[in-house]
Amino acid sequence: MNQSKPRAQSRRQYRYYDLVMASFVTILLCSNLIGTSKVITIFGFTCGAGVFFFPLSYVFGDILTEVYGYARSRKVVWAGFSALAFASFMSWFVVAAPPAKDWPFQSAYETVYGQTWRIVVASFVAFFAGEFTNSYVLAKMKLWTQGKMLWTRTIGSTIAGEAVDSLIFYPVAFLGTWQHHLVVQVMVTNYLLKVLWEVVMTPVTYKIVSFLKKAESEDYFDWETNFNPFSLDT
């Protein structure tokens, strides 16, 4: 396995990196556009509808950092951030554009795609802070554990990243719009479900990570990585 340093990493060509990145961005966009605002009740628990899909972005974030390193994961986070920004702009433009005279679906479009500025800002800030926290914690824990006990860092990084994400997103997006107890209830329930998702997905994560490490001949350790989230250097 290659345990190269950041400069050597930039010269590598990977077979599956782009596929993992595309999967990450797809899950991110779908979970934010489709499941952000709807609250559902399942088995007596109240939670956001997106909770069943959004945690998969953290699974892919873990896989990216574990196999390819923090620097390459950072580029994917920025790709996801840019995709979210474009999707939000497109949603605003489509909703704001004057409809044809007899077109009957304007109100439906406003309901589905007319996200408020609070939800957009909350999504951006929470995603940015949560994903980078997740990637940073996993990369550091990989050094501390010397690459052993993968489950400790996939679950540990998710506990940290999802906590940051949830503590930012729900108050910024819904406090003052929802009742306070509902904001807290949905935030706590969603957080616990997201962490549980990571635990349940651990065997799958192990298989994917093992496959990618062998296929790419890569098992990257961030010994000399610049962890500045605003740098795009690899």
Q: Which tens digit of pLDDT belongs to each residue from 48-95?
A: 677 778 788 889 999 999 999 999 999 999 999 999 899 888 888 988
Average pLDDT over the chain reads 87
CA 121/CA 112 separation, integer angstroms: 17
User: pLDDT tens, 18-57?
Assistant: 999 999 999 888 887 776 667 778 777 776 677 778 788 8
At 171, is the secondary structure helix, strand, or coil?
helix
Q: What is the pLDDT of residues 176-209, one digit of tens each?
A: 888 898 889 889 988 998 899 999 999 999 999 9
Q: What angle do CA 195, 43, 189 make, to 5 degrees?
A: 30
Q: What is the rounded distance in angstroms from the CA atom of residue 32 to the CA atom of residue 23?
A: 14
Q: Quick check: 7 pLDDT over 50?
A: no
The 3-state DSSP composition of the chain as helix, strand, coil percent (nearest 5) reads 70, 5, 25
Q: CATH number for 6-97+106-216: choose from 1.10.287, 1.10.1760, 3.10.20, 3.40.50.
A: 1.10.1760
Residues 6+ apart with CB under 8 A from 8: 2
Q: What's residue 12's pLDDT?
A: 74
Rg, Å, the chain Cα set: 19
Tokens of 224: 């000399």
pTM: 0.85
